[in-house]
Structure 1
Amino acid sequence: MGNGFKRLYQDRHPFMFIGPAVLILLVFSIVPIFVAFFISFTDLDLKGLANWSNINYIGLENYKELFTDEVFHKSIYNTLFYAIIGVPLVIVCSLGIALLLNYGSNLLFRFFRGVYYMPSITNIIAVAVIWGYLYNTEYGLFNYILSLLEADKIPWLEEPTIAKLSLIVLAVWKGIGINMIIFLAALQGIPQSYYEAAKIDGANRFQMLFQITIPLLRYATFFVTITTLIGWLQFFEEPFVMTQGGPLNGTISMALFIYQEGFQFSEFGYAAAGSFILFVFIIVVTLVQFKIRKSDTEY
């Protein structure tokens, strides 16, 4: 026993470095998950927060009500709509831009790297204000350009399906930067000897792209796919700022539904139940991604 403690003391430095991060994760992530899970089986509201004696255990009633809630059903549909369209767009656009920027390293290419990365670090409120003007039906830039082409005005944020697509365009534009950096780092890690050998064998650029570059980006593509999909399943900021879930709940996402139920209607137990359904969705989708991933190719 004494030797175990002595060995632990001698190897204490790694634990000292990871300890604060683990503590923060435990206090602000792990513990709240269990608290929210318990709350989801209660009728916690503002009265319950003021006096815990007003909190009642109601079992699975919150979950049963969610499965009959049409607004929640619509939020699931909208979230899947966002993810199915948005995730591939982000991946393709990020990879395409990274491939273009990887061809050079001079000042011009570094400038465009900053240009494409800047939206991802720009405050969402500022972005929403600017895009709100762009999407304005009467005075927006997009409809002004359409008027020059003698085309009809488009209700960018006033018709449910068009509003969802408009938010996807905004989110894709904002989400390209980080994934572009990941792809760029992966591209620059590919040994040039592979391309030199391919050139000697007479391969053209398209053959090198599809036979060398893209296969060697498997790890980066898998990572980007997982993180992007999780992010889009938690799609919140854009509909919250731009449309508040409207029109007619046409842009409400699961995350926005949970926020509204919890912080606008003060139905904390109901919102906690919704958050756990979203949590299960994310876990299932992530596990499926790991399951269907093909075996790695060795080079």
Structure 2
Amino acid sequence: MSVNEAPLYRAPLWLRFKGQLAGYGFLSPWLIGLFALTLGPALSSLYLSMTDYSLMSSPRWVGADNYVRIASDDPRFRAAMNVTFTYVLLSVPLKLIFALAIAVLLNKGLKGLNWFRAIFYLPSLIGGSVAIAVLWRQVFASDGIINQVLMAVFNYEGPSWIANPNTAIYTLVALAVWQFGSSMIIFLAGLRQIPTDMYEAASIDGASRARQFFKITLPLLTPVIFFNAVILTIDAFKAFTPAFVISDGSGGPIDSTLFYTLYLYQEAFTNFRFGYASALAWVLVAIIAGFTALAFLSAKYWVHYDD
């Protein structure tokens, strides 16, 4: 060290921490929520998933027995998986298609655009409520509005869509698709970011509207489509309220609306098998994580960013 160089001063650890207290103070609500409401319960659930536990007795360690039973000796688990995957594979693509179609129409510069956006977004705000699920059950009942319209227009006496095991799941898919408003708003924001000069150049070159949509709009919207698809898939796997209300918590008829989350609820709060329900919850976490990972791995083949 030369004569003119002063030694590097490092403040004591307590003094440096004191300077960060304000930042940690602002972060404290989030930190409390993370450890008390998210991380703590999650770790407790992971422990309980390896126990035989009910409210009437203390947890008894059983290791991986709950997971073995899920994989090999639980027909209702397989029924719930079948119903849930059917719901996800139908509702997510249909909701994406409806949301994109309405967004493209609203992007044409309609008068009263703000009113149309509010009207189409409203189902996303109220669609997940118990009241709408009850209303949906009445609409698709044997004497509901749907059958009344079919009788008046086509002289066709429709079935009780909710009580028929062949059609019950499709009523829940229709309810999910009806709630396309939030995805529509995101699509509309993405459409507004596409430069108009690209469409003008394509029109000069003689490209039709359909060709412009498939060659310009869709490729430039793939990041938005990817985002909406991931969010909708996660939400579809977690769907609970419609199936619970419409089937009165039974998942009927004949388990045709037995969503995975509904089966988990039955195991925990009807059969009081909290250890087994915790194992079911962690299986659901693994399923959602697997689908999300596959989506991100496939994104490099079809999602096109600016670079």
**TM over 0.5, yes or no?**
yes
CA distance in 1, matches of 2:192, 2:166: 39
Contact 2:123 2:181 in 1 (8 A): yes
* Partner residue in 2 for 1:46: 55
Q: 2:226 aligns with which of 182, 201, 222?
A: 222
Question: Deviations along 1:142-199, whole A, 9 cap, x unmatched?
Answer: 111121212232220112230001111011112x011111111111122223223323
TM-score, normalization by structure 2? 0.88
Whether 1:273 aligns to 2:282 is no
- How far the C-alpha of 1:78 sits from its partner, in A, is 0.5
SS in 1 for 2:300: coil
* Partner residue in 1 for 2:6: none
* Partner residue in 2 for 1:264: 270
CA distance in 1, matches of 2:280, 2:293: 20
Pairs within 5 Å for 1:147-226: 147-148=151-152, 149-174=154-179, 176-226=180-230
Pairs within 5 Å for 1:62-81: 62-67=66-71, 68-81=73-86
CA distance in 1, matches of 2:25, 2:212: 46
Q: Provide closer, same or farther for how the CA distance between residues 15 and 186 of structure 1 changes in structure 2, counting only shifts above 3 A.
A: farther
Whether 1:247 aligns to 2:256 is no
- How far the C-alpha of 1:19 sits from its partner, in A, is 4.5
SS in 1 for 2:62: coil
Q: Provide closer, same or farther for how the CA distance between residues 23 and 201 of structure 1 changes in structure 2, counting only shifts above 3 A.
A: farther
SS in 2 for 1:160: coil
Matched letter for residue 68 of structure 2: K
Q: Kindly tell me the number of residue pairs found equivalent between the two proteins.
A: 291
Question: Deviations along 1:199-249, whole A, 9 cap, x unmatched?
Answer: 333333222211111111111110000010111111211101111211121
- How far the C-alpha of 1:65 sits from its partner, in A, is 2.1
* Partner residue in 2 for 1:28: 37
Q: Provide closer, same or farther for how the CA distance between residues 223 and 13 of structure 1 changes in structure 2, counting only shifts above 3 A.
A: farther
- How far the C-alpha of 1:86 sits from its partner, in A, is 0.8
**More displaced 10-residue stretch of structure 1: 276-285 or 194-203:** 194-203
Contact 2:53 2:273 in 1 (8 A): yes
Of the two, which has the highest radius of gyration?
A: 2
Q: Provide closer, same or farther for how the CA distance between residues 208 and 4 of structure 1 changes in structure 2, counting only shifts above 3 A.
A: farther
Matched letter for residue 115 of structure 1: I
Question: Deviations along 1:40-73, whole A, 9 cap, x unmatched?
Answer: 011110113xxxxx32111112122222111111
Q: Provide closer, same or farther for how the CA distance between residues 41 and 153 of structure 1 changes in structure 2, counting only shifts above 3 A.
A: same
TM-score, normalization by structure 1? 0.90
- How far the C-alpha of 1:129 sits from its partner, in A, is 2.2
- How far the C-alpha of 1:119 sits from its partner, in A, is 0.8
SS in 1 for 2:52: coil
CA distance in 1, matches of 2:221, 2:178: 22
Q: Provide closer, same or farther for how the CA distance between residues 25 and 145 of structure 1 changes in structure 2, counting only shifts above 3 A.
A: same
SS in 1 for 2:51: coil
Matched letter for residue 284 of structure 1: G
CA distance in 1, matches of 2:199, 2:121: 28
CA distance in 2, matches of 1:13, 1:88: 46
RMSD: 2.1
Question: Deviations along 1:228-275, whole A, 9 cap, x unmatched?
Answer: 011111121110111121112111011111111111221110100111
* Partner residue in 2 for 1:100: 105
Matched letter for residue 23 of structure 1: I
Contact 2:133 2:241 in 1 (8 A): no
Pairs within 5 Å for 1:2-17: 2=11, 17=26
SS in 1 for 2:262: helix
CA distance in 2, matches of 1:9, 1:95: 51
SS in 2 for 1:293: helix
* Partner residue in 2 for 1:283: 289
CA distance in 1, matches of 2:25, 2:94: 42
Contact 2:66 2:276 in 1 (8 A): yes
Q: Provide closer, same or farther for how the CA distance between residues 185 and 298 of structure 1 changes in structure 2, counting only shifts above 3 A.
A: closer
* Matched-pair identity in %: 33
Whether 1:132 aligns to 2:134 is no
CA distance in 2, matches of 1:18, 1:251: 42
